[in-house]
Structure 1
């Protein structure tokens, strides 16, 4: 039937429009994913807080802490300042924060803002900086060109010392207040000092080698390290497999076969590394730090990414570089020269006969002598054992004295609380003793329990 040119149908099927799931917080996209300058998680949290017009500390305290639901989760960011670098790392703190942020923002790409993809490969030691580092020239360029100012994950890694774009050393102190910044502070804001609030960028035409007095050899190493680690971060988004723990061991054994016919000792001499350390790495028992691994790859002139993925192995006929800066090499093990033998022996004997208090450990003795402790042990095992026994006896006596003092304080605290009409619980007693940490010892807890029994409080 037609009505004034319109067609009337008996019925029509109407479908509800598909409404995407709404996130609790803004679904902010990390900057630079799939590039060497991928954004760090601490930077993402700071930008997310800024997008909601609150300080990062407020965001952590009011939103993230309840989702993470752990002591370190950010209930009070002031208490975990020294640990915020771990947010960009490979451990539990980074994993838990990612899970919390994913649930609040509905993003599934935040893992790339940390080193979690390489958690099986790189140990946490010496992986991340304790303080924030940045390139002031990148900051200035991003601001003047209208780009978003942020903090790349690359800058948080300890092995990266320079900006590969501007060939400048990364700054670690504000040029206004001359203070260092931690990775994530209560009032962190990318590009600004969390202490004085001033802008951290500036423009300059000064060349890297002139400004920083860096030689060509060291500059070559620093830029190579920054570029190779950046290449590794860029590849994280395209990994077709999770790197396994034995990857480094397998690659080291392959290169040992190539350069030294599988002789680990000879390969260690070739790399000028401690033989025992290299042997443990080749066995997969221990893992070298990222810093050490980058140095090894530079020494062999092998791409870090190719070394870890074992792609194009030996396609470019690798060989040890002759340009490796001597001062960047690991220090060789100290040895006692023949004319020093009597001097060291005489010093060790005097240490045993002296009444020095507290007695020094062998680590301290080796430091004073300027020799490697293991080398001294090799020459004077009996003397070294005697010095160590003397030190251990001292430490044991101090431990027993401290435990006895803590037991006494726990008893006095319990009696005082009872006199004031309060139950002497562990939490209350802990606040009254000088060394609360000693409550982990059974002797101290037993002293408190015995006192409560004497007071008729416990059966």
Structure 2
């Protein structure tokens, strides 16, 4: 009888595998991330609503609004047509910010990320560049589109969407078909909101008709006819497209101080520290350029493009790279270069570096301590170049010069401020500032805060005492006039008292009329 052999099979793992968290809405993949034609956030919201077979209004109010802390009122839930997305996105021009760099875009991205479980939706806005792009005139206030792009995508069965680059204000022509965008529906002749409750991809949000066509009609945002204007717009499209495409690859944090440093370096090297020359070259006010160099203001997007074009560098490099040397610079007019010949500055080699090291060590012992700019001019080198090669020595020179200026201020200005505390009548602090040649008092408040506050306090106390004394004189005169009228058998009314006052205009003051009523009551009048 044959022996039976048992066969062992591999054991099964009967433990249930963990189920990953599910998203409330579809995990719809955005179009074109990492390319110049990445989808805008408003376009993504419209496409997501279409995927769920609901209106954009319903998606915003029922799903997105609660995560933004803006739930609709219960009274509005009964009638969908009465619901408004204005409380969520603002009205008209306020909705422009949905694709921008501010709080509106940030809150909307956070809400959409929670609902879809996607972590890349901020690339559908300009949030990655919030520290280096000015919000002023950055985005359009109305929706624009290219009808040829719509028609091509429809004919080739591609997803119809609105690229982020269409929303940027300085982009005026389609980067593919090279004709101006349309901003008015050719059917109902209405402009389109950036995002509305009835928005549909490729269709008018007023009449609902198709906006795509190969037949281009005039009615663009701006009619561009000249060849140089078209060439500049193509350059703008290329630069901004490269900027948008590189957003997912930017790892290091972007610092806005890099813009001011780059502009200052360019002015020092190309225009010999002459801001007026750059002002004439790019047709921008000199005071505005000064604010850029100090880091107080971020240039607008159109000015950034002009600056990068003038510097002959890419806009992406201008915003993300530390540039210390500009090569092959051609700037300014020929007349300016003839009147102000360019200084011959030498490069630093190893031998020159040793010599400069010895000279800078001797400069440290000079008195009065010179500024770093003076030392650089003396050595025929740029200050930034010296700082790059000799950071410690340059820092010592800057600190010694700053300390010397501080001591000079103390010796020159402090005695004048101390004498002002002894003057009578006390002068105002603004008057003291103008005596010293300053237009306002911010400089003195910065370096002499205690003395400045003492002078201001003394002047205010003196003015308060004078005002109190004047009030007492007015009250005494009103009391005398009222008693005189009372002795004559006449009621001291406001009109009669005013006619006998030395300065009748004081009766316009509320406290004067109140005091007169108190006197009338004390004399027995109602």
Cα distance change, pair 252–148 in 1 and its aligned pair in 2 (3 A): same
* Aligned position for 1:76: 84
Residue 239 to residue 220, structure 1, CA distance change in 2 (3 Å): same
Aligned partner of residue 122 in structure 2, secondary structure: helix
Larger Rg: 2
Shift of 1:84: 1.5
Counterpart in the other structure of 1:281: 292
Change (3 A) 1:150 1:90: same
Distance 2:203 2:52 in 1: 18
Paired residues for 1:116-195 under 5 Å: 116-195=127-206
- Tell me if the contact between 1:33 and 1:39 (Cα under 8 Å) persists in the aligned partners: yes
Q: 1:53 to 1:4 in 2, by over 3 A?
A: farther
Cα deviation code 1:218-240 (max 9, x no counterpart): 11111111111111000111001
- Give, in whole Å, the separation in 2 of the partners of 1:198 and 1:168: 22
2:270 and 2:6 mapped to 1: Cα distance? 85
Do 2:262 and 2:322's aligned partners in 1 also have CA atoms closer than 8 Å?
no
SS at 2:246 equivalent: helix
After TM superposition, list the pairs within 5 Å mapping 1:56-95 onto structure 2: 56-70=56-70, 76-79=84-87, 80-82=90-92, 83-95=94-106
> Does the CA-based 8 Å contact 1:301-1:319 persist in structure 2?
no
2:23 alignment counterpart: 23
Q: What runs of 5+ residues in structure 1 fail to find an aligned partner?
A: 323-459
Unaligned runs of 5+ in 2: 77-82, 334-526
Q: 1:16 to 1:308 in 2, by over 3 A?
A: same
* Aligned-partner Cα distance in 2 for 1:300–1:206: 37
Match of 2:235 in 1: 224
Q: What is the root-mean-square deviation of aligned Cα atoms in Å?
A: 3.1
Once residues 127 and 176 of structure 2 are traced to their aligned partners in structure 1, the CA distance between those partners, rounded to angstroms, is 25
Cα gap change, 1:231 to 1:319, in 2 (>3 Å): farther
Aligned to 2:38: 38
Structure 1 residues 247-269: Cα deviation after superposition (integer angstroms, max 9, x where no partner): 21112112112211233233323
Measured against aligned partners, the alpha-carbon deviations of 1:44-102 in whole angstroms (never above 9, x if no partner) come to: 11111111111111111101111110489997314523222111011111111111111
Contact 1:208 1:214 in 2 (8 A): no
How many pairs align? 320
Name whichever of 96-105 and 249-258 sits farther off. 249-258
Say if 2:136 and 2:300, in contact at 8 Å, map to a contact too. yes
CA deviation vs aligned residue, 1:321-372 (integer Å, no higher than 9, x gap): 99xxxxxxxxxxxxxxxxxxxxxxxxxxxxxxxxxxxxxxxxxxxxxxxxxx
Whole-angstrom CA distance in 1 between matches of 2:143 and 2:197: 14
Query: Aligned partners of 2:238, 2:5: CA distance in 1, in Å?
Result: 69
The CA deviation at 1:16 is 2.5
Whether contact under 8 Å (1:46, 1:56) holds in the other structure is yes
State the shift of 1:285 in Å.
Answer: 0.6
- Aligned in 2, Cα 1:213/1:133: closer, same or farther, shift over 3 Å? closer
- 1:43-442 aligned at under 5 Å gives the runs 43-70=43-70, 76-79=84-87, 80-82=90-92, 83-204=94-215, 212=223, 214-310=225-321, 317-320=328-331
Which aligned segments of 4 or more residues in structure 1 are displaced greater than 3 angstroms? 2-6, 8-15, 70-75, 204-209, 311-316, 318-322
Cα gap change, 1:208 to 1:35, in 2 (>3 Å): farther
TM-score by length of 1: 0.64
Residues 254 and 10 of structure 1, relative CA distance in 2, 3 Å threshold? closer
CA offsets 1:292-332 (integer angstroms, 9 cap, x no match): 2112223444311111122677676354599xxxxxxxxxx
Select between 155-164 and 248-257 the one with higher mean Cα deviation. Answer: 248-257
Asked if the contact 1:168/1:208 (under 8 Å) is kept, the reply is: no
With over 3 angstroms needed to count, the CA separation of the structure-2 counterparts of 1:213 and 1:64, relative to structure 1, is closer
Name the CA distance, whole Å, in 1 between partners of 2:70 and 2:305.
35
3-state SS of the aligned residue for 2:264?
helix
Q: CA deviation at 1:288?
A: 1.1
Aligned partners of 1:193 and 1:163: how far apart in 2? 19
Aligned-pair CA distance for 1:168? 1.1
Task: Check whether the contact 2:278–2:332 (CA below 8 A) recurs between aligned residues.
Answer: no
| Alignment partner, residue 517 of structure 2 | none
Query: Do the aligned partners of 2:184 and 2:219 also contact (CA within 8 Å) in 1?
Result: no
Query: Any conservation in 1 of the 2:97–2:104 contact (CA below 8 Å)?
Result: yes
Q: Which moved more, 1:303-312 or 1:31-40?
A: 303-312
Q: In the alignment, is the contact (CA less than 8 A) between 2:151 and 2:214 conserved in 1?
A: yes
Q: Which has the higher contact order (CA 8 A, sep 6+)?
A: 1
**TM-score normalised by structure 2 residue count:** 0.56
